[in-house]
Amino acid sequence: MTGAARGIGLGIAQRLAEEGCRVILWDVDFSQFDRRKAGFEPVLTQVVDVSDRLAVEKAFSEAVEAAGSIEILVNNAGINGPVVAAWEYPPDAWDRVIAINLNGVFHCCRAAVPHMRQRGYGRIVNVASMAGKDGVQYISAYSAAKGGVIAFTKSLAKELAADGVLANCIAPAMAETDLLREMTPEHIAASKAKIPMGRFLQIPEIAAMVAWIAGPECSFTTGFVFDLSGGRATY
């Protein structure tokens, strides 16, 4: 579970632990992670920058050694980046958003897939976004990265379809997380206005969806985008 120290990642990890999973947490900062409040004991907590391929490969090897095997990979780590017009977007910020939100998914899948294929079983859940479907103004890097996650997931799923390894992704609308701190009030209001239910997505709702996708009952769906949009999605 990447990006798992807080927010959506922690919420998903808690739900998977409740379902009986032994969970390994990856994040770049565990300073806000409280084991007592989390309600479960992770197998490992590993400080990993998913944009660093070598760091991912090393951490995955350590995870396999500690757990024995890895059946589920949830790629959640991500940043929003600045809220600014595309022609004013700082190139270094663009590179960082793509590196974490898209390249990070690739690095983690590249590390995990051979292990899963060898075992003949695996569930990969990539956290994309409605922004990856719609393209949202003033967050072009985030939209581009999440659109890339969707396309990558579809490609990967087809490649793995006969191997017992399923790859799907979720496309949440805006949720109430710490990422809101990176956004302007105008951007938050505009995003909420797009949701027909008139409210933001809640973390337990995301966790419930991921728990099913990552479980054995999801057995004939791969390469799919599960929307969590409150009615916003049109395709």
Distances (CA, A) of 231 to 52, 164, 188, 227: 36, 32, 17, 9
Spatial separation of the C-alpha atoms in residues 202 and 141, rounded to whole Å: 24
- The average pLDDT across 125-145 equals 96
Burial pattern 95-104, b for ≥16 Cβ within 10 A else e, equals eebbbbbbbb
For the chain, what percent of residues have pLDDT higher than 90? 88
**Average pLDDT along the chain:** 95
179-185: average pLDDT? 72
The reply to whether 235 belongs to the active site is: no
pTM of the model: 0.94
Q: Give the tens place of pLDDT for each residue, 26-50.
A: 999 999 999 999 999 999 999 999 9
Strands (E), the chain: 24-27, 44-47, 72-75, 122-127, 165-172, 225-228
Marked catalytic residue, from 89, 121, 138, 142: 142
With bands split at pLDDT 50, 70 and 90, how would you rate the model's confidence at 13? very high
The rounded distance, in Å, linking the Cα atoms of 228 and 205 is 8
Structural domains in the chain, CATH included, are 70-228 (3.40.50.720)
pLDDT band at residue 172 using 50, 70 and 90 as cut-offs: very high
